[in-house]
C-alpha cells in the first residue's frame, strides 16, 4: 500500500482530524547556499523532504524525496535534529491537517 493510499484510507476513517505523520527533510549545501524547493500545493518554500512510505526508513525517505523533488542524489547523511510538536502543523489546501515528526 502506498503512502497516498494509506493517507486516503486513514482520512476515510477519521475525516479531517489532525494526525502525526513521520518523514524527513534535508539541509543540502551547494557551496554557501542551501537548496530549497517551492511546494506546488501551498506555494511555500521548504527544505526538500516529505512523508515516509509505510515501512520505509527515514534515511531512505530523505534520499527518495530529494531525488523526486530536485533530481539531486544524496551522498552521506548526518542526523541534525528530530523536529515535532505544534510548530510542525500543516494544513493542506484540500483540508488535510497533520503534525510532522521529521528527521532532519
CATH numbers and ranges of domains, the chain: 3-103 (3.90.79.10)
For the chain, how many residues are written? 104
Give pLDDT tens digits for 34-71. Answer: 999 998 878 889 999 999 999 999 999 999 999 999 99
For residue 1, pLDDT beyond 80? no
Mean pLDDT of the chain: 91
Mean pLDDT along residues 94-104: 92
Q: pTM for the whole thing?
A: 0.84
Task: Report the distance separating Cα 58 and Cα 55, nearest Å.
Answer: 9
Q: What is the 3-state secondary structure (H, E, C) of 4-41?
A: HHHHHHHHHHHCCCCEEEEEEECCCEECCEECCEECCC
The residue among 104, 35, 20 whose CA lies nearest residue 71 is: 35
Amino acid at each position: 500500500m502506498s503512502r497516498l493510499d494509506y493517507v486516503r484510507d486513514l482520512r476515510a476513517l477519521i475525516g479531517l482530524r489532525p494526525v502525526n505523520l513521520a518523514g524527513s527533510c534535508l539541509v543540502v549545501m551547494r557551496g554557501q547556499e542551501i537548496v530549497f524547493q517551492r511546494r506546488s500545493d501551498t506555494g511555500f518554500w521548504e527544505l526538500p523532504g516529505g512523508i515516509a512510505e509505510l515501512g520505509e526508513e527515514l534515511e531512505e525517505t530523505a534520499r527518495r524525496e530529494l531525488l523526486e523533488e530536485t533530481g539531486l542524489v544524496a551522498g552521506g547523511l548526518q542526523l541534525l535534529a528530530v523536529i515535532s510538536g505544534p510548530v510542525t502543523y500543516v494544513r493542506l489546501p484540500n483540508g488535510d491537517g497533520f503534525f510532522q515528526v521529521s528527521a532532519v
